[in-house]
Every structure is written in structure tokens, then in C-alpha cells.
Structure 1
Amino acid sequence: MAGLLPLLTEAYQSGEALGKRLGVSRAAVAKEAKALKAEGFPVEVGRKGYRIQPGTPLPHLFHPRGRLGTPYRYLGRVGSTQDVLRAWAEEGAPEGALVLAEVQERGRGRQGRPWESRPGASLTFSLLLRPRLPLPALGLLPLLAGLALWEALGVGGLKWPNDLLAPDGRKLAGILLEAKAEGEEVAYALLGVGINAAWAPAGAAALAEFSPFSRREALEAFLERLEALLPLLEEPEALLQRYRRASYTLGRRVRVHTPRGPVEGVAEDLLPDGSLRVGGVRVGAGEVELLRPQD
């Protein structure tokens, strides 16, 4: 039986009622619910019956307010949403295609770091974009995505290029950009987003500490803001001006770990291609460490 998940709502339904709709026994409903939970889907079982955890972005409960977020694949346990979406992109998926998984067994962040998540408590998804961008402008896309996340959630600030930090500096969310080039242009870009929604690894922050947003509301808000901001790729200075207001990096002493070694100094400004100027040095890529005054 593969039809239980589309019938679940945020209200409890009895096993008898669900069984009648599916033409199966209550025991079969219980067995399927157990299998769905094993796959990572946040199915809740109680004395009143079965429901999906409130705020879950099930396809029939998820309502994107624009063109981003459709078509949509909601999955349980996968290796990585980036890998699933890349294969879909190669098959010709349109811009806006979205893959969300409750469990990523090989989830990854920037610099190849693993991204931890928990079913029903984390929000991990990948979005396909097909921007008409020359390769030199690709560095603006992570900044724009980070800005969209900050504006959507209304919490904290951004650590360059696109980590969302809580007001106390703990990491709340991150974005991984992977792209394919064709000639001198971007063929497509995969935005992998991880948000600590109701749970966070040690030392990180959860959105629930600062916001009443459910996972579904956070996803819908991000997609709406990203779509609204995409035209700013054609206006780099307007994008950078808006990003500066969200930055927790600019004006701070930082240490950036780059492929060529660390660069340390004051994060002075953003350059037109989205890179960071630190102590007079241009930094195009690297992991930023925000330094305390005594460091």
C-alpha cells in the first residue's frame, strides 16, 4: 500500500476511516504508518489515530506562492537532495523544481562538511535554478540566496557568503551552491538549503528559538522571497547594498580560511562580483571565522 501519505493531514484520523478510504484493514494502515516512520516521514500515531506532524511540507499541504517550488518531490530517506536534484536537472527538470527530504544520509554543507538533520525537526531541500548568468557573475547567486533566507525568516544576520546566524552568533542555516557551466554561461544551479528548524546540533541554533514559523511556512516564505529577489542579479550594486544591511561580517575582524591559506583582517566591503575584501585583499571563496576582539 503506497497511498497512506497523501491522505494524512494535520488532524488525527482513525485507522478505520483511513482503511476504508484505502480499501484495506486497520492492521494494514498501522503497518504502512510504521514503514513510513522508518523511512523518516514524521507520521504521528496516537490514541485518536494517525496524522502528519503539523507544519510538514507534504505536497498536498504545501502551497508555493510563485513559480519556484514546482514541480515538487517530497522524499523520506535519501543520500543527498543535491544528488537527487542534479539527476532530475540532467533529465530536463524546469527551473523551480524542488526536492525536499526528511533524512539525508550524506547531506553536505560548504567545504564538503556533513550537514546533520533530524526528520520532522530540520528543513533540508534543494532548488533548481536556470539563471541566464555569465560565469563571472555566479558569485552573486549565493549572496542573493542568503539574503532571501534572511528576509524570509527575519532572524539574525548573514556570515559571508550565505550562512544565516542567530542573533547570538550561532549557526541557524546554511546554503550550498553547486552549478554546471556550458561554455561561458551557467547551465543550471542547485541551491541546497539546510535550516535547523526545531532541532540543532550542539553549538548551533534552531529557528524555533526565535520564530513561530513552521517548516512549511519557512519553506514557502523562502521561495517567495527568492523569486522576488532574482531580478537583482541584473542589478549587482542594488543587491550588494541590500546584502550589506543583513551582514554580520562587514566591519568585523575575520579570519578567512582559503585554499591558499588564511587571510586575516577587517572585512571591509563586498566587491562587484560578490567577493569579500579583507584587509585590502580580495577573497573569492573561503570559510569565514568571525573573531572576537581579544583573538
Structure 2
Amino acid sequence: MGGLLDLLDETYRSGEALARQLRVSRAAVSKEAKRLQAEGYPVEVSRKGYRILPGTPLPHLFQPPGRLGRPYRYLGRVGSTQDVLRAWAEEGVPEGALVLAEVQERGRGRRGRAWESRPGASLTFSLLLRPTLPLAALSLLPLLAGLALFEAVGVGGLKWPNDLLAPDGRKLAGVLLEAKAEGEEVIYALLGVGMNVAWAPEGAASLQEFLALSRKEVLEGFLLHLEALLPLLEDPQALLARYRQASCTLGRKVRVHTPRGVVEGLAEDVLPDGSLLVGGRRVGAGEVELLPLIE
């Protein structure tokens, strides 16, 4: 039986009413609800009936605020939204295509790390961009995506390049950029975003500890801010000026674990190519560790 998910919203509906609309038995509605739950969909079942967890971006409840977020695939359990979107991109789907999943069994962050999530409480999605950029300019896109996250929620600060940290320094969200290029031309870019909204793994933070925003509101805010920021890829100085204001890295003593070893010193600036200036040394890639203010 299909279609139950398409009928659910944030208010409870009785099994009898749903069965009548779907032309099936109440037992079939119950069975389908259990199947959806097993697939990771946050379907809530109680004596009041059936509903989707409030704040869930179901396709018929989610209205992208601009041109990004269409077309949209909302999925339950997948390997990785990046992999699903990559296959879709190869089919020629237009810029703005969005894939969101409740459960990622092979969700990954930067540098190959696993990204933990929980159905109904985490926000994990991938967005397709087809920027008309030279390959050299692609390095600014992760910073821009992190800035869009920060401006969407207005909480915490950015740890270079694009981790969103809570005010107390715990991790709230991260961005993964993967791209396909031919020669010096970017064919497409996949922005993978993971945010802890109502739950966080041990040592991390959830957004709702600081701000009463739903997953749907965070997603809509991110897409709106990202679209507004994208033109700044052609004005790196303006982009970096806004990024510096959101940074919780600059002015701090840091330890950066790079492919060539550890660099330690004061984080002085973000350079026009998106790299970090640490103690007079340029760092193009690495994992930043913010050192205590007082040691």
C-alpha cells in the first residue's frame, strides 16, 4: 500500500479516516505506518491517530523559499544523500535539486569521518549546484555554505572552514563539498549538510538547546540564505568580510592537523583563496583544533 505518507501532516488523523481515504482496512494503515517507521520516517502513532512529527519537511509540507530546493526527494533510509544526489546529477537534474534522508547508513563528514544522525531529530541533506565558476574559485564554496548555515540560525560561530559551533564550542553542524570538474570547468558541486537539531551525539550540541527552530525552518532558512550569498562567489572580498564576522577561529590560537603535519599558531586571517593564515603560514586544508584561551 502506498500513499499514507502523502496524507499525513502535523495534526493527528484517525486510522479510520485514513483507511477510508486510501480504500484499505485500518489494519493495512497500521501495517504501513510500522513499515514507514522501520524505514526511518518519523511517523507518530497514538490513541489520537497518525501524524508526521511536527517540523518534518515532507514534500507536501515543505515550500522552498526560492529557486533552490526543487526538485526534491525526501527519503527514509539511504546509504548517503551525497551518493543519491550524485546519481541524480549525472542524469542531468537541474541546479537546486535537493535530497534529504532521515537515516544515512553511510553518512560521512569531511576527511572521511562518519556523521551520526537520528530520524526526526537530525537534518541531513545534499544540494546540487551547477556554478559557472573556474575550478580555482571552488575553494570559497564551502566557506559560503558554512556562512549560509550560520546566518540561517544566527547561533554560535564558524570554525574554519565550515563547521558551525555552538556558543559553548560544541559542534552543531558541518558541510561536505564534493565536485565534478572537467579541465578547469566545474560541472557540478554537491553540498552535503548535517545539523543536529533536536538531538546530538555525545560531545556535540543540538540547535534546540539554544533556539526553538524546527528542521523544516532550518532547511528553508539555509536555502534562502545560500541563494542570497551565491552571487558573492564573484566578489570574494565581500564574501570574506561577512565570513570573518561569523568566524570563531580568527584571533584564536589554533592547532591545525594538515596532510603535511601539524601547524600551530594564531589564526590571523582567511585569504582570498579560502585558506587560513596561521602564524604567518598558509593552510589550505586541515582539521582545526581551537586551543584554550588560557593554558
TM interval, shorter chain, is over 0.9
Query: What TM-score do you get using the length of structure 2 for normalisation?
Result: 0.99
Map 1:73-84; keep pairs closer than 5 Å.
73-84=73-84
Shift of 1:183: 1.2
| Matched residue, 1:49 | 49
Map 1:163-242; keep pairs closer than 5 Å.
163-242=163-242
| Matched residue, 1:125 | 125
| Matched residue, 1:273 | 273
Alignment pair present for 1:109 and 2:109? yes
Measured in 1, the distance between the counterparts of 2:64 and 2:124 equals 16
| Matched residue, 1:260 | 260
| Matched residue, 1:88 | 88
3-state DSSP of counterpart to 1:138:
helix
Measured in 2, the distance between the counterparts of 1:168 and 1:205 equals 9
Query: What TM-score do you get using the length of structure 1 for normalisation?
Result: 0.99
3-state DSSP of counterpart to 1:139:
helix
Shift of 1:177: 0.4
Deviations 1:110-137 (A, max 9, x none): 0100000000000000000000111111
| Matched residue, 1:67 | 67
Structure 2 contact 150–157 (Cα < 8 Å) conserved: yes
Shift of 1:294: 4.6
Measured in 2, the distance between the counterparts of 1:293 and 1:94 equals 46
| Matched residue, 1:249 | 249
Deviations 1:213-254 (A, max 9, x none): 100000000000000000000100000000000000001000
Question: Could you tell me which amino acid in structure 1 is paired with residue 159 of structure 2?
Answer: K
Question: Could you tell me which amino acid in structure 1 is paired with residue 147 of structure 2?
Answer: L
Shift of 1:2: 1.2
Deviations 1:252-295 (A, max 9, x none): 00011111111110000011111111011111111100001455
Measured in 1, the distance between the counterparts of 2:292 and 2:137 equals 32
Measured in 1, the distance between the counterparts of 2:231 and 2:211 equals 28
Measured in 2, the distance between the counterparts of 1:255 and 1:57 equals 38
Question: Could you tell me which amino acid in structure 1 is paired with residue 87 of structure 2?
Answer: A
Q: Aligned-pair RMSD on alpha carbons?
A: 0.6
Measured in 1, the distance between the counterparts of 2:46 and 2:214 equals 21
3-state DSSP of counterpart to 2:188:
strand
Question: Could you tell me which amino acid in structure 1 is paired with residue 282 of structure 2?
Answer: R
Measured in 2, the distance between the counterparts of 1:136 and 1:256 equals 23
Measured in 1, the distance between the counterparts of 2:23 and 2:259 equals 59
| Matched residue, 1:152 | 152
Question: Could you tell me which amino acid in structure 1 is paired with residue 10 of structure 2?
Answer: E
Structure 2 contact 102–124 (Cα < 8 Å) conserved: yes
Measured in 2, the distance between the counterparts of 1:294 and 1:250 equals 16
Question: Could you tell me which amino acid in structure 2 is paired with residue 243 of structure 1?
Answer: Y
Q: List 4+ stretches of structure 1 deviating above 4 A.
A: none
Aligned residues: 295
Question: Could you tell me which amino acid in structure 1 is paired with residue 211 of structure 2?
Answer: S
Report percent identity of matched pairs: 81
Measured in 2, the distance between the counterparts of 1:159 and 1:22 equals 49
Deviations 1:157-191 (A, max 9, x none): 00000000000000000000001111101111000
Structure 2 unmatched ranges of 5 or more: none
| Matched residue, 1:34 | 34
Structure 2 contact 252–293 (Cα < 8 Å) conserved: no
Question: Could you tell me which amino acid in structure 2 is paired with residue 24 of structure 1?
Answer: V
3-state DSSP of counterpart to 2:272:
coil
Shift of 1:152: 0.4
Measured in 1, the distance between the counterparts of 2:116 and 2:166 equals 17
